[in-house]
Amino acid sequence: MNLELSPDERRFREEVRAFLAKHLTPEIREGAAATPSVFVEPDIGQAWNAILNRQGWLGYQWPKEYGGTGWTPVQRYLFEKECAEAGAPNLTVLGLKLVAPVIYTFGTAQQKAHYLPRILSGEDYWCQGFSEPASGSDLASLQCRAVKDGDRYILNGSKIWTTHAHWANRMFCLARTDASGHKSTGISFLLVDMNQPGISVRPILTLAGDHEVNQVFLEDVVVPVTDLVGAEGDGWKLAKFLLENERGGSCHAPKLAYDLRRICADAADQPDGAGGAMAGNADWRRRAARARLGVESLEMIELKILSEIAQGRAPGPQTSLVKLLASNLRQEIDLMAMDLLGLAGLELDTRRPLYGPDAPPPVHSRQTQVAAARYLNSRAWTIFGGTNEVQASIIAKTVLNL
């Protein structure tokens, strides 16, 4: 694996840097910095999406025929790294990186023509209807039922931990269409209009104090047969495809490295309780070094996956390794920020503006304020997208042959 950038790749990197310097506004950057979770709220995320869409870069991971950029895997990595370094918000992952690949890979021509442009334009904002109250990590045990009635399905059940369902107008949903066979064979993948009778969204306020997730109740909800993706009963196959994209569809290392550098910079201004700065504390330095080595190791794995994609090979179970390592590193880095800045965040004057000449200095602004909330929110990293235990089992079975 050659880690040296070619002249064309260096020129591309400079193009991305120039674009970010011009178009990533202070308001969007500060909104991203004030976000305690993976998902920025739509007023921030959709504003940034619109800027990228005008540039033709929003669907950079998509095939070119569906609105993608045609970038190489290295260009995609460089784009994500420069966005992380610049403090750009995460893209709206549920539509762009989860349901869109399912639609352009398995959907009908009609579904592709209708939904893909609306994801890029922001007309459709998606949520994910997978988890259920009684299913936990055993997704195949879901009980939400879809009964076929002529040219439509009638959907009944409940979904939980549904991120941004209170903002979404569309849901991609797993529902049981056949209960007669093995529990994973009778599941179908449906596209649901959230703006119809029979759907109610109940907020779930997390320990971090945010309203990010919800429980969604579905009572006699109508889904046209034309909004079934793939064949009836293909839902389990499509869900596994989607989850591989969720676990390895983006590079986590650049954002983790950015957050770690910011924390280590802040350590120079934080006392260690022994008369010095935390940055000079031996225990802190060892902890930061371990985290840095972990991030660099993760980056090498992600670059190896990109190299295999460039050669036409699917990454397969390596995405589980990425998810496992990235989840643990995210929690460790957020714990470091909490240990360093958490109490200081309680003293921040939140009446001061987010940006502008009267804003607080960066060291004691958003990163300090959100340290505790990010730490609490990141507890979910080892659960969503498949728990750490699920990832370890996948690696044991498919890589180690245990």
DSSP assignment string, 246-278: HHHSS--HHHHHHHHHHHHHHGGGSB-SSSSBG
Give me the phi and psi of 270, to 5 degrees please.
Answer: -110, 130
Is 246 labeled as catalytic in the residue annotation? yes
CB-based contacts of 75, cutoff 8 Å, min separation 6 = 9, 12, 69
d(CA 116, CA 168): 16
d(CA 248, CA 21): 28
CA 38-40-45 angle, 5° bins = 130
Reading the block at residue 361, the tokens are 């200095």
Burial class (CB in 10 A: 0-12, 13-18, 19+), 103: buried
Give me the phi and psi of 144, to 5 degrees please.
Answer: -55, 125
Find the catalytic residue in 30, 80, 246, 302.
Answer: 246
Residue 315 · residue 323 · CB < 8 Å = no
Q: What single-letter DSSP state applies at residue 154?
A: E
d(CA 331, CA 374): 9
At 312 the three-state DSSP class reads coil
d(CA 185, CA 387): 22
CA 160-198-128 angle, 5° bins = 35
Give me the phi and psi of 183, to 5 degrees please.
Answer: -65, -25
Q: Which helix (H) or strand (E) covers residue 109, if one does?
A: helix 109-121
Active-site positions read: 246
